Structure 1
Amino acid sequence: MLPSHNRFPYSAIVSRPDFSWPDNRRLAVHLCLNLEHFAYNTGLGISYSPGLPHPNTYNWGWREYGNRVGVWRIIELCDTLGIPLSVLLNSECYDHCPEVIAALRARGDEILGHGRTNSEHQNDFDEAGERRLIQDVTDAIKAREGRAPEGWLSPGVNPSDATPDLLQEAGYRYMLDWPIDDQPVWIQTRGGRILSVPYPHEVNDIPAIALHHGSAADFADMIIDNFDEMLAQSSRQSLVFGISIHAFLIGQPFRLKHFRRALEHIVGHRDAIWLTTTGAIATHFIGLGMP
């Protein structure tokens, strides 16, 4: 027998009970903004300077551009188009760039847990240490936002074997770590269950641009093509289409131009879709009582 996670059984999307999103919409679309802060000259990250030891000043500065410049361009674009954001927040950003979080808060965007910093991953800790990490992030968000976050994405999308259990025990209702489906999926935990909301592995600027070396135009075309195909498919099953971005990538002017083209295409179909947040998707699905 192959080793198994023992979290959920196989399920064919063509064999499930039918359901709809609010107002009988069939395609839910969410845009996730990763807001991250890295330790200087130590810790993890993606290198764009081959041959140089990593991390280094060049890579730290590349990331920091997103917090200083890129994120403000993205906020402006989403304001113009009326697009809500699901903010995947490193809690260290509260001390590092509080103005950014204040602007997102003023927009009414959803704040999710995304670790303390992407310079550490949950697999770096034993279970007690990971429990403290999750609690640190939860407490920081609750203190600033007035309520605890309901959703979580692990830094580096690299959860430990215990992450679903620890999140459910900490009061989280959903997580984004499992890119397994185009519909929400219940994940069993040792204390109950937690919902997996679809988070994109492919329509995500890190793999598409930083790892697979796609161009800005390629990424915009990917978003548009994925949207058009999923909108057509959603006549058969209600679906979730997620887009994931990082400000240091999409906030670069030459990429923002193409990203704007993709978002304008999506909002041009606003009357046919549910443009929403990951938390609203989780709330609606849980309320349906789906197995």
Structure 2
Amino acid sequence: MPPDHGRYGYHPWPARPPYRWPGGARLAVYLGLNLEHFAFGEGLGAELAPGASAGHPQPDVLNYAWRDYGNRVGAWRVLQMLDELALPATVLLNSAMYGYAPELVAAHRARGDEIAGHGRTNSERQSAMDEAAERALIAESAAAIAGAEGAAPRGWLSPWIAESFSTPDLLREAGFRYTLNWCADDQPIWLRTRAGPLLAIPYPQEVNDIPAIVARKDGAAQFAEMILDDFAERRRQVARDGQPQVMGIALHPYLIGQPYRLRALRRALAVIAAAPRDEVWVTTAGEILDHVDTLPEGMVP
């Protein structure tokens, strides 16, 4: 057998005990909205056109400014759309945003959105750090959120979904209750850590605007259609087999906040917002954790 991570065991999908979400729903849907800040002239970042990753010299003004559009303009348009559709969000926050765009974070705080940890900046990766440095990164990010929001964050998404071999242990030791890093399932599953269980809540790498738009070059209409097809197929599956599912939709304002993409996204999210609440629970990742905590032991693998 090849080396194993030891974090969870294999649980066949048809053999799992069924349960329901609040209101009797079988499908939980949440929006993971990434608010990210990037270093100028260094570090990592998605690219609209070949830049530093292709060996071009810094500063990479084109790609930096394209990403910064999300914080300056796109994220505010996304906020308006969320208000129009009365949709909650789980904000995946680089803690550097408190210094760079505090008004934007405050707007999400005012509407009651969940604030989850997403590192300090997406210009660095945890997987490149030793354990002490990674522990410090997690602590610094969590402390910034706790200081501004009045409560410690319960969830975490690593910048670039980058983990070391110790990341789940360090997260649990820092008081985090769930992670979005592991996209291995359509239901929440418990991860084993040296400090106790850590819930892995499904975070999409398919219905996610970065892989779709940046990597696969999907158009705005194609991404919206992907959301609608994913939603429709999941509703069919949960009605057929009774197994609950989590559908996450991952969004980045520098991508989805572009007007033509936002228009297509609004059409798709309006369908989700209008779904019957006894079938579809539109929620946050933190509320999914809260519900899992109420279930009998052994119900969630």
Query: Aligned to 1:220, what secondary structure does the other structure show?
Result: helix
Matched-pair identity in % = 52
Q: CA deviation at 1:290?
A: 4.1
**Matched residues in 2 for 1:86 and 1:219: separation?**
20
**Matched residues in 2 for 1:169 and 1:289: separation?**
24
Q: CA deviation at 1:270?
A: 3.9
**Matched residues in 2 for 1:270 and 1:220: separation?**
20
Query: Aligned to 1:189, what secondary structure does the other structure show?
Result: coil
**Matched residues in 1 for 2:63 and 2:156: separation?**
25
**Matched residues in 2 for 1:97 and 1:162: separation?**
31
In structure 1, the residue matched to 2:64 is: 60
Q: CA deviation at 1:277?
A: 0.1
- Pair 1:79 & 2:89 matched: no
- Pair 1:102 & 2:106 matched: yes
Distance 1:133 1:31, change over 3 A: same
In structure 1, the residue matched to 2:267 is: 261
After superposition, give the CA deviation of every residue in 1:22-70 in whole Å (9 maximum; x if it has no partner).
Answer: 1111100000100000000100012222264466111110110000000
- The AA in structure 1 aligned to 2:172 is Q
Aligned residues: 291
Q: CA deviation at 1:265?
A: 1.2
**Matched residues in 2 for 1:290 and 1:13: separation?**
18
Q: Unpaired segments of 5 or more residues in structure 1?
A: none
In structure 2, the residue matched to 1:129 is: 133
In structure 2, the residue matched to 1:20 is: 20
In structure 2, the residue matched to 1:273 is: 280
**Matched residues in 2 for 1:281 and 1:72: separation?**
26
In structure 2, the residue matched to 1:4 is: 4
Q: Residue 164 of structure 1 is aligned with which of 146, 164, 168?
A: 168
After superposition, give the CA deviation of every residue in 1:57-98 in whole Å (9 maximum; x if it has no partner).
Answer: 111101100000000000000001000000000000000000
Name which of structure 1's ranges 230-239 and 142-151 shifts more when overlaid on structure 2: 230-239
Q: CA deviation at 1:274?
A: 0.4
- The AA in structure 2 aligned to 1:287 is T
Poorly superposed stretches of 4+, deviation over 3 Å: 51-55
In structure 2, the residue matched to 1:232 is: 236
Please show how residues 99-248 of structure 1 align to structure 2 within 5 Å.
Answer: 99-235=103-239, 236=241, 237-248=243-254
- Pair 1:249 & 2:255 matched: yes
Query: Aligned to 2:146, what secondary structure does the other structure show?
Result: helix
Query: Aligned to 1:34, what secondary structure does the other structure show?
Result: strand
Q: RMSD of the TM alignment (CA)?
A: 1.1
After superposition, give the CA deviation of every residue in 1:258-277 in whole Å (9 maximum; x if it has no partner).
Answer: 00110011112143310000
Distance 1:55 1:227, change over 3 A: farther
Q: Unpaired segments of 5 or more residues in structure 2?
A: none
Please show how residues 276-291 of structure 1 align to structure 2 within 5 Å.
Answer: 276-291=283-298
| TM-score (norm. length: structure 2) | 0.95
**Matched residues in 2 for 1:157 and 1:286: separation?**
25
